[in-house]
Amino acid sequence: MANKLLKDAAVNHRLTSKRGVLERLFTLMFQGFVYNQIWEDPDVDVAALRIQPNSRIITIASGGCNVVNYLAANPAKVIAVDLNPNHIALTRLKLAALNYLPTYEDFFSFFGYANSKENRIAYDTFLVEQLDPTTRKYWESWIPLRGRRINMFARNLYRYGLLGRFLTVLNTVARLHGKKLNEMLTAKTPAEQRAIFERTISPLFDSRFVKALSKMPVSFYALGIPPAQFEELNKASGGDPAGLIRRRIEKLACDFPINENYFAWQAFGRRYDTVGREALPPYLQEETYNIIRQRTNRVETHLASMTDFLASQPEKSLDCYVLLDAQDWMNAEQISALWDQITRTAAPGARVIFRTAGPDSPLERKLPAETIAHWQYEPENAQAYFDKDRSSIYGGFHIYMLRDAAA
């Protein structure tokens, strides 16, 4: 089922074409464990969605971080859907850990450090019997040379998955050039961040190897970027993807205090700030943990496409939609089908947020006029939130609100 869902989403060209071959290669890679954490800033999402106590949120699960982060804003419900069973399994494990690990320190060991043998013991003692059969089978499954899949939490979860391996390669490339990316994490001031970036990171993008690598679509598959999204990224770069990536990493490295930006810690160190405990996602902060663990019963998880799941929901039943960057995968027909269901299920005042590889929203050029007419775009708010997004990897952030006439 999962393979078919992913193929339906990502494959739009014949196998005999170059694009069709790339789409199928991406689909094959994306069937595995991709994201060990989500790469969308939850502070931006919560503010843009204007979450209220009666808000019913639907979101793509990805690594599950924001599924639980949103609980801190006290919504009525969070529905998490995903095409990838690996991400659903990780989301369900986070929920079980919130419910059944005895203390905050046990939870932090599991998802903050994520590299202790004690985590395997905690899993066997407190979690394994609490998981549904499908999720338990996933984490109990045997991986050659590694043992049970749950062993990732004894060996640093954040080095695993396509994203973890991509960051490992990035760090290896830097070392081969005599640079250490984790030096960025030692910066104490914005000036130091800028100096370290110019000294250790910026020069990497002048190398022939990095420039060549940046022009290959397959290089981006580990970031979950399919061929269609790579085309948008390449277009936004003006034919210089290495320069575009340099600018986005510059924002990640320099535009936000390093001691607060956990996305930078993952990019440059493949870990969180486990000493100062400032650069952490909200759910790993003790005060937030104590709030959200009381609200986990508000979360639903489903292995499904967003469009198919919405088709099963009542009219006017949802208030907030988080599409991540999924529409960068989609052709006009798929986007239209998705927004038909969003419009049907949207309650009065509903809000939709999503990100794109390039700067522009695809809706004005891909949605029928009669569908887009139901929605009001908020470009100024979108730009303001985009500027605040600490993950810094996208080219655009977009907000749409349901017009009164559609209510």
111 backbone dihedrals φ, ψ, rounded to 5°: -110, -15
User: Whole-angstrom Cα distance, residue 259 to residue 187?
Assistant: 8
Structure tokens at 102: 């005895």
Tell me if 238 is assigned to some domain. Answer: yes
Q: Which helix (H) or strand (E) holds 350?
A: strand 346-356
The residue written with tokens 């985590």 in the block is 119
> Quick check: is 227 in a domain?
yes
Q: What is the C-alpha to C-alpha distance for residues 327 and 357, in angstroms, rounded to an integer?
A: 10
Distance of CA 250 to the CA centre of its chain: 20
CA distance 97 to 126: 8
Q: Is there a domain that residue 168 lies in?
A: yes
Is 90 a member of any domain?
no
In a domain, 223, yes or no: yes
Contact 287, 316 (CB under 8 A): no
The reported pTM is: 0.89
In a domain, 185, yes or no: yes
Which pLDDT tens digits describe the chain residue by residue (407 residues)? 434 444 454 455 554 454 444 445 445 545 567 788 999 999 999 999 999 999 999 999 999 999 999 999 999 999 999 999 999 999 999 999 999 999 999 999 999 999 999 999 999 999 999 999 999 999 999 988 778 999 999 999 988 876 666 667 777 778 887 888 999 999 999 999 999 999 999 988 888 877 777 766 665 655 556 666 667 666 777 778 778 888 989 999 999 999 999 999 999 999 999 999 999 999 999 999 999 999 999 999 999 999 999 999 999 999 999 999 989 878 899 999 999 999 999 999 999 999 998 889 999 989 999 999 999 999 999 999 999 999 998 889 999 999 974 44
User: Which candidate, 223, 217, 304, places its Cα nearest to that of 13?
Assistant: 217
In 3D space, the residue among 358, 182, 157 whose CA is nearest the CA of residue 264 turns out to be 182
Residue 187 included in any domain: yes
Q: Quick check: is 59 in a domain?
A: no
The tally of domains found in the chain comes to 1
| Domain with 241 in it | 161-269
